[in-house]
Structure 1
Amino acid sequence: MLNKQFIRKQFLNKRNELSPAMRNELSNVIAKKIITMIDDNDFENIGIYKTITSEVNTEEIINWCNENKFNLFFPVINENTDTIEFKSQNDELKVNLDLIIVPLVSFDKELNRLGRGKGHFDKFINTLNYKTFLVGIAYDIQKYEHTLPIEKHDQKLNLIITELNDYYKTV
């Protein structure tokens, strides 16, 4: 079995190889799917990341949520605890989120997520005592065809949305 660092590097390279125009096009498809999901559900407090590097662009989702008066909270690293907290644009701390949209480097059909390697999202998710719906967004090329190597602290998502597919937990 391949180790996480090797898989992470492989999928970061795949994602980075997409042209900016292609990433934009795929991000728009994903954003429309996320917006529909938000609009069809009772989400009020939403945690969402601001895009860095070649991640799925969340700007369209953020703009739509702001226009439609959803409460948005963004992950911020707490330097003292090396964990993330979600804060509003006004620096208001939020603990109970209805939905968290999570970035990822790779994922598998079991909804395991491979992030950037620091474990910030996994640590945060592990502390949730509130029913939060966890959605990862990625390009379909980020799907790992085998089961990702997982550790005890790794957290599964409820749903992963790509431009081509929606991957759900199966019972």
Structure 2
Amino acid sequence: MIEGKDSIRRRYKKKRADLGPEQRAALSGQLIAQAMAFLASRGQVRHIHLFLPIARLYEVDTTLLIDRLVESGRKLYTSVTDFSAKKMQTVSLVPGTKWEEDERGIPVPSNFQVVEHEGQIDLVFLPLLAFDLEGFRIGYGMGYYDQFLSRLPNGVLKVGLSYFPAEERLPREHHDVPMDACILPKEILYFIR
């Protein structure tokens, strides 16, 4: 019997919590180093969408990437979720931005400008709980990122960041958008389509 998405979500949330703060911080540092190595050979990638970590869900600390990406000349974006419209809005992310948590604990820039033309984004770093060997991911089940990715032009790189290795195969639905790569603390996996 195939494990359901809700069961997988619970299992991976527990695995994250069980890591503890020191191990999560060390793994986040390794993931950021791998992300910079991934980008080192991709100078054409100039516009990057980055998720901001939800502390209570023990997500990868992507704030460690912000200054490094800006120093490398990249333009950064993140999202603000409009829960009533069930949609993410892309906003510019600038160095020195202060954060506030929204009603669900998601970090949101205190001052932001909505980006009307998302077509310039070259790469999206994706949050995930689990992923499989074919590049499909399981997030929190709201579908916001799959909806966001479906609005972007073909060719945008979709790259996950994961503390944990891939599952062999995860359950999926017709609207799930596969990743192009997933960065792990010690390696980078690429998915061929």
Q: TM-score, normalised by structure 1?
A: 0.92
Runs of 4+ in 1 over 3 A off after TM superposition: none
Report the counterpart of residue 164 of structure 1 in structure 2. 186
Measure, in 2, the Cα distance between the counterparts of 1:161 and 1:147: 18
1:130: Cα distance to partner?
4.3
Confirm whether residue 111 of structure 1 aligns to residue 135 of structure 2. Answer: yes
Name 2:153's counterpart in structure 1. Answer: 129
Which residue number corresponds to residue 20 of structure 1?
Answer: 21
- For 1:10-159, what aligned pairs fall within 5 Å after superposition? 10-41=11-42, 42-53=44-55, 54-89=58-93, 90-93=112-115, 94-96=117-119, 97-141=121-165, 143-144=166-167, 146-159=168-181
CA contact (8 A) 1:103 1:137 kept: yes
Tell me how far apart the structure 1 counterparts of residues 162 and 178 of structure 2 sit (CA, whole Å). Answer: 15
Offset, 1:19: 1.1
Matches of 1:40 and 1:91, distance apart in 2: 30
Consecutive unaligned residues in structure 1, runs of 5 or more = none
- Which moved further from structure 2: 104-113 or 161-170? 161-170
Counterparts of 1:48 and 1:102 in 2: how far apart (Å)?
7
In the TM superposition, residue 68 of structure 1 has moved relative to its aligned partner by 2.8
Instruction: State the percentage of identical aligned residues.
Output: 26
What TM-score do you get using the length of structure 2 for normalisation?
A: 0.82
Structure 1 residues 31 and 154, CA gap change in structure 2 (3 angstroms): same
Note the residue ranges of structure 2 that are not aligned, 5 or more in a row. 94-111
Could you tell me how far 1:127 is from its partner in structure 2? 1.9
The superposition leaves residues 62-104 of structure 1 with CA deviations (integer Å, 9 ceiling, x where unpaired) of 1111223311000111345311122103414140210100010
Residue 140 of structure 1 aligns to a residue whose secondary structure is coil
Distance (Å, rounded) in 2 between the aligned partners of 1:77 and 1:63:
23
Q: How many residue pairs are counted as aligned between the two chains?
A: 169
